[in-house]
C-alpha cells in the first residue's frame, strides 16, 4: 500500500467518523467543488451520507399582482417558509464539515440585575 492511498483512506475514515459524531446536528458542509450547504445529517453509510438540506420557499402570489407587491393598505407581504429535502452525498465529495453556531436566546435573569424602581 502506498503512502498516498494510506493517507487518503485515513482522511476518508476521519471524515466518516466526523459525520457520525455530528449526526442529527445542524451542520455546514463544503464540497470539493466549492459549493456549500447547511442541513441535518440523518444517516451515514460506508460511502455516503443522507442529509436533510434546507431550502427557502416563498408563498406563491395570489390575486392582484399590484396588491401582492405593495405592503400596507394595499396588501400583505409574501410569506417565506423553510422546507427540508433529503439528499444523498458521496463522502468522497465532501471537503469540510462544521457545526453551525447556536446562539442561546437572551435570558431575562442575567447578571448584573437591572433594578426596576
Q: For residue 97, what are the β-bridge partners?
A: 29
User: What are the tens digits of pLDDT across the range 54-112?
Assistant: 888 887 665 555 544 555 555 566 777 888 999 999 988 888 888 876 655 555 555 55
Let me know: does 50 contact 91? Beta carbons within 8 Å. no
The full set of domain ranges for the chain reads: 3-99
Task: Please tell me the CATH code under which domain 3-99 is placed.
Answer: 2.30.30.100
Prediction pTM value: 0.63
Amino acid at each position: 500500500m502506498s503512502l498516498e492511498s494510506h493517507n487518503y483512506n485515513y482522511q476518508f475514515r476521519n471524515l466518516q467518523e466526523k459525520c457520525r459524531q455530528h449526526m442529527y446536528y445542524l451542520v455546514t458542509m463544503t464540497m470539493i467543488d466549492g459549493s456549500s450547504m447547511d442541513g441535518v445529517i440523518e444517516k451515514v453509510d460506508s460511502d455516503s451520507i443522507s442529509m436533510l438540506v434546507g431550502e427557502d420557499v416563498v408563498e406563491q402570489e395570489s390575486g392582484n399582482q399590484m396588491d401582492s407587491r405593495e405592503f400596507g393598505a394595499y396588501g400583505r407581504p409574501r410569506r417565506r417558509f423553510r422546507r427540508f429535502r433529503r439528499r444523498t452525498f458521496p463522502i468522497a465529495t465532501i471537503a469540510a464539515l462544521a457545526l453551525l453556531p447556536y446562539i442561546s436566546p437572551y435570558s431575562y435573569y442575567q447578571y448584573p440585575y437591572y433594578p426596576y424602581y
